[in-house]
Structure 1
């Protein structure tokens, strides 16, 4: 009986640690976060039952593999409290934070931060939690805004703001795009193959058959071919991070070829991405063809129907 009472007093903890990049340094490292959380639990006499780690995962969403596993274990009653080094390591979205905290409270699971006065098992702790959650979301938005401004500044200078330029280009030492002549020839060939064969899938098949890979070393598919055909950078239109300018030096494809490819690529699209309705005469011809194909089968099984009535019925819907 005494042992049962002692066991009921044990607080089982789960440690959660996260980094937003694989090379995160200083106190944000996974190793340091786990170490600090473990000491925090030890000082309070809590038993660490699980350690959940998400590496290179954004805090702006709760759709993280180990985070979701942790919630699943919490729902099953595997532990009493989740310990993390700092609130922004746990989550950065205010809406997500409040929703997760409410859900954990329903499961009788608390939240504790090593570096902040957060303990959601008490009213004061929940008040502090929500205040810090607001600060965390503000910080996330400011970081995002600074990132967007940085990308815009790079793009305005004609620089490519990520390390992976499209097929046909490389980046020089200053970050500006330069045409890779070998890849540029492949871009021209893709456009010509598409105009000749009128099929993105067939173009992908031909490229793969020749052992030609994509810019990142993968096999071609219709989507990869479409990305090439739809890229306006090939006619010098530089549209990156809110910047929309024309840089003739970036041109690989002439306007006539590019527009011909776009007409072919969008030939089946209509309003809002739908195919145009079939012409009435063509629709009736198709219907008569289908009826004649199955007429003998229907007669074989003594199934009678008025073909003309079917056709007239369809005409009223055209």
Structure 2
């Protein structure tokens, strides 16, 4: 992926003028005219000339997504901003700078520490003035409010699903299928595989060995992948197999979702936790031994002092 190198443009005006870095970005190499890198830069140069600003740097990211800040020239620009190489970042439109308003708000806070402002030539975003900073913070507050409302609506929707014991996504746990009404039903064949996994683990007492056995027998995961120790562990830790349904803040027993007995689940859990209990007792022993050694050293040192006094 080709990305233009940030260029330095010697200024023709005095040091009293604001030094500017222009930032331009396209999402693809076939970006239409009006959004192209050259056109974005041209519009920014024109605006800088209008304000009497001196353009020092031009950063151009071609075919780079704006969903995050992991863009080569963007990172170089932020590093230069931290070194105070310019006073203002000018861009054609906010979504060229960042697709996420919340990211833009955080970036503005970082740039404020570097004493670098933001200026959009097509929007009312200008943090180089007090009024502009006020407007930007209002935009930030509105964005934060919208985000909180989305989270609240999501939690309400999740709770509504959970009250009826529905599954919140299209990937139910191994052993179940999702019904048209969004509840789960036990899949007899997959449920047998779940029971086999618990039986194998109780027998072999090793997740890697269970995964190896499942792969040898030709079993696949829910996503049609081969088994690995982590996938086995996810099954062994999932309490839904004992009918314990937990979504959001709703935790209830659902008889229809039970695949395993409590005894089998608790037995496998005890095996999983055996090393943790062992490590705890070992660490206590080691602490006790360390204390004995320290006490011995102190006692020896005290005896040495007594001998010197006599």
Q: 2:118: which partner in 1?
A: 110
What does 1:178-193 correspond to in 2, within 5 Å? 178-193=185-200
Which of 10, 23, 33 is equivalent to 1:14? 23
Which of 281, 306, 310 is equivalent to 1:276? 281
Q: 2:238: which partner in 1?
A: 231
Cα deviation per residue 1:87-112 (whole Å; 9 max; x = unaligned)? 98343269724533325x54x46242
CA distance in 2, matches of 1:96, 1:279: 45
Q: 2:78: which partner in 1?
A: 74
- Residue pair 1:52, 1:70 contacting (<8 A) in 2 also: no
- Residue pair 1:94, 1:134 contacting (<8 A) in 2 also: no
Which of 173, 177, 195 is equivalent to 1:166? 173
How far residue 259 of structure 1 moved from its aligned partner, in angstroms, is 1.1
Q: 1:304: which partner in 2?
A: none
Flag the 1:236–1:92 CA change in 2: closer, same or farther, 3 A: same
Larger mean CA deviation between 219-228 and 238-247 belongs to 219-228
Q: 1:196: which partner in 2?
A: 203
What runs of 5+ residues in structure 2 fail to find an aligned partner?
1-8, 47-57, 287-291, 297-310
What runs of 5+ residues in structure 1 fail to find an aligned partner?
19-30, 284-311
CA distance in 2, matches of 1:149, 1:42: 47
Higher RCO, Cα 8 Å, sep 6+: 2
Which of 223, 228, 237 is equivalent to 1:216? 223
How far residue 174 of structure 1 moved from its aligned partner, in angstroms, is 1.4
**TM-score when scaled to structure 2?**
0.68
Q: 1:50: which partner in 2?
A: 61
Q: 2:263: which partner in 1?
A: 256
Cα deviation per residue 1:166-212 (whole Å; 9 max; x = unaligned)? 11111111111111221111100000000001111111111122332
How far residue 113 of structure 1 moved from its aligned partner, in angstroms, is 7.1
- Residue pair 2:245, 2:251 contacting (<8 A) in 1 also: yes
CA distance in 1, matches of 2:161, 2:37: 39
Flag the 1:15–1:155 CA change in 2: closer, same or farther, 3 A: farther
- Does residue 153 of the first structure (1) align with residue 163 of the second (2)? no
Cα deviation per residue 1:32-59 (whole Å; 9 max; x = unaligned)? 9x8499977655545783357436x5xx
- Residue pair 1:17, 1:90 contacting (<8 A) in 2 also: no
How far residue 278 of structure 1 moved from its aligned partner, in angstroms, is 7.4
- Residue pair 1:268, 1:276 contacting (<8 A) in 2 also: no
Aligned length: 262
Flag the 1:36–1:124 CA change in 2: closer, same or farther, 3 A: farther
**TM-score when scaled to structure 1?**
0.67
Flag the 1:84–1:4 CA change in 2: closer, same or farther, 3 A: closer
CA distance in 2, matches of 1:129, 1:37: 25
Flag the 1:71–1:110 CA change in 2: closer, same or farther, 3 A: farther
CA distance in 2, matches of 1:141, 1:93: 15
CA distance in 1, matches of 2:78, 2:199: 57
CA distance in 1, matches of 2:177, 2:209: 27
Larger mean CA deviation between 208-217 and 237-246 belongs to 208-217
